[in-house]
């Protein structure tokens, strides 16, 4: 068995996330307390009690999901002694992956993603841009849709989530036209996403520039575990490339399919997902059904994961 870890991105946030872990695990309590100190406000209360409207604000969403994902990771690590062969995260989740790897300190990461969220939100005025998931078309077909619709404004591929679910983003009017073109080409569904900006498009270039300047002040340590980047779906080959990769990620397509294919290429056959939801498990299942996926998103799923790995390791020892 060769194991990889993946971490949730924005969109998984919900009231009550992580509360069970805070109540049950000291290592999880430490993470929430560190986040509160680093941010200077009560993130813990927002995660546990909401309101959802506040949790959906990008500059709160990002530190909330990162904190909850790492709190879940720490609880798991306190029970199971595993060193993953590689780690990755969807968009925001890449920061959680770097924390797991040791290349980013948690307190710096949580401050950084708060600013990242604010930069991303401020880059495009509300009501100007958006994102839509195209279900049922291939990546090539969706790229053609974006190309045709771009005659009416910016439309670009944001996320390659799975072979049959690709996200596009850009100007709202052009996105609407893209949706019509996608349906004409046979898309099963076109789902406008509840986001406030066209993330991972060229419309966020100002956010990329601001984040790049912010990253200049961040300390990067050695990666104890290889991290796979969203930008190209490959292992980041050097710590010297981390800052540039994280900055570019803001305007680059999230190549999640390639991230999972990279894990498979180095022999990873089991992936553990950390975060408030289990969307990544669904994506991975559509990318490669041969990969075993274990999702940790609440206390019940954590206990099942612990039991699964304990049983697996015992069987291997026998």
Name the residues annotated as catalytic.
91, 200
**What whole-number distance in Å separates Cα of residue 276 and Cα of residue 145?**
32
Give every CB contact of residue 12 below 8 A, 6+ residues apart in sequence. 65, 275, 276, 277, 279
Classify each residue of 57-90 as buried b or exposed e, where b means 16 or more C-beta atoms within 10 Å of its C-beta.
Answer: bbbbbbbbbbbbbbbbbbbbeebbeeebbbbbbb
**What whole-number distance in Å separates Cα of residue 92 and Cα of residue 11?**
10
Apex CA 254: angle with CA 134 and CA 125, to 5°? Answer: 75
Apex CA 259: angle with CA 35 and CA 27, to 5°? Answer: 25
**What whole-number distance in Å separates Cα of residue 232 and Cα of residue 256?**
9
> What are the backbone angles phi and psi of residue 89, rounded to the nearest 5°?
-150, 150
Cβ atoms of residues 60 and 39 within 8 Å: no
């Amino acid at each position: 068995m060769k194991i990889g870890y993946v971490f949730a991105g924005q969109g998984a946030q919900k009231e009550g996330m992580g509360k069970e872990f805070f109540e049950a695990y000291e290592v999880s309590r430490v993470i929430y307390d560190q986040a509160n100190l680093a941010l200077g406000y009560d993130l813990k209360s927002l995660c546990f009690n909401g309101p959802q409207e506040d949790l959906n604000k990008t500059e709160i969403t990002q530190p909330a999901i990162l904190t909850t994902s790492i709190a879940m990771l720490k609880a798991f690590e306190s029970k199971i002694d595993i060193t993953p062969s590689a780690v990755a995260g969807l968009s925001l989740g890449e920061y959680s992956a770097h924390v797991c790897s040791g290349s980013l300190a948690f307190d710096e990461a949580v401050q950084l993603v708060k600013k990242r969220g604010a930069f991303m939100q401020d880059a495009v005025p509300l009501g100007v841009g958006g994102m839509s998931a195209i279900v049922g078309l291939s990546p090539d077909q969706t790229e053609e849709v974006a190309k045709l619709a771009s005659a009416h404004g910016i439309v670009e591929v944001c996320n390659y989530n799975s072979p049959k679910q690709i996200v596009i983003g850009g100007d709202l009017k052009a996105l609407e036209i893209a949706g019509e073109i996608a349906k004409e080409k046979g898309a099963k569904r076109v789902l406008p996403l509840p986001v406030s900006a066209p993330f991972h498009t060229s419309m966020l270039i100002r956010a990329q520039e601001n984040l790049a300047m912010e990253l200049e002040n961040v300390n990067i340590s050695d990666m104890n575990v290889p991290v796979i980047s969203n930008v190209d779906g490959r292992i980041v080959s050097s710590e010297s490339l981390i800052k540039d990769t994280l900055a570019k990620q803001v305007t680059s397509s999230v190549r999640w399919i390639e991230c999972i294919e990279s894990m498979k290429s180095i022999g990873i056959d089991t992936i553990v997902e950390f975060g408030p939801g289990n969307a990544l498990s669904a994506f991975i299942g559509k990318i490669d059904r041969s990969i075993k996926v274990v999702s940790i998103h609440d206390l019940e799923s954590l206990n099942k994961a612990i039991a699964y790995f304990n049983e697996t390791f015992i069987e291997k020892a026998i």
